[in-house]
Amino acid sequence: MKNTIKIIAVVGLILFTQACSKDDDNKIKVQDHDQNQMMSIMHSMMTKMMAMPMSKDPDDDFAMMMKMHHQGAIDMSSAELKNGDDPKMKEIAQKIIDAQKAEIVQLETFLAVHNPHMMSMEFTDQMMKEMEKSGRQADLQVINGDIDHDFAMLMIGHHHAAIENSRLELIYGHDASMKTMAQKIIDAQQAEIKELQEWLLSDGK
């Protein structure tokens, strides 16, 4: 009888240990934001954008802001190409670099000749609110130190911010080339968000 009780106790302990081990495997892993490579790039970009002098001309400020925002995406994508492992994430990263480098050239060409003249405090206020919201949202993201996962998570938020600011350009902007670019950004980045979400939902496989 005593041996039977001992056997039952040992089996119970083994099953409990296995259950705990499975629970540990299912726990969400989190890395401190200050130690995370992707988050460091995001914070650096946000700091530069928040310090950007505002002309209060919607087209001019949109172009300046988007140039910095695109560079942040390029830096994150370059880190993914260098340190990531997943072929799909590397493919998206290269696509982002190619598209946004080309758009930066267009933005710089526009800024070189554009004379700010259309003032809109409402646009400026809305854009600042969007940048602040984007920063808060990034700080709420669960990141775990896996470069592919963190790239996907943070790039979704990064794209959402670009889409919202592009919508502001469509509402308040006047320059046809900037409005065309804004719509192009919305269309392209909505499609990329879907790709990133699908990858994450498939457990990154």
Tokens of 117: 């003249």
Segments forming the whole domain that contains residue 46 = 29-201
Domain count, the chain: 1
Task: Determine how many CB atoms are found less than 10 A away from the CB of residue 1.
Answer: 5
Query: Average of pLDDT values for 68-94?
Result: 95
Residue 56 phi/psi, 5-degree rounding, is: 70, 10
Quick one: DSSP state of residue 27?
S
The enclosing H or E element of 46 equals: helix 37-50
Mean pLDDT of the chain: 83
pLDDT of residue 67: 96
Candidate from 128-132, 140-144, 154-158 with smallest mean pLDDT: 140-144
For residue 121, pLDDT over 70 is answered with yes
Residue 193 included in any domain: yes
Residues of the chain above pLDDT 90, percent: 54
Residue 12 included in any domain: no
Give the amino acid at 184.
K
Residue 22 included in any domain: no
Residue 15 included in any domain: no
Tokens of 147: 């470069």
Q: What is the CATH number of the domain that holds 176?
A: 1.20.1260.10
Residue 9 included in any domain: no
Residue with tokens 């592919």: 148
Residue 128 included in any domain: yes
Nearest in space to 138 (alpha carbons), one of 156, 157, 151, 162: 157
For residue 112, pLDDT over 60 is answered with yes
Residue 23 included in any domain: no
What CA–CA distance (Å, rounded) separates 74 from 174? Answer: 27
For residue 5, pLDDT over 70 is answered with no
Residue 117 included in any domain: yes
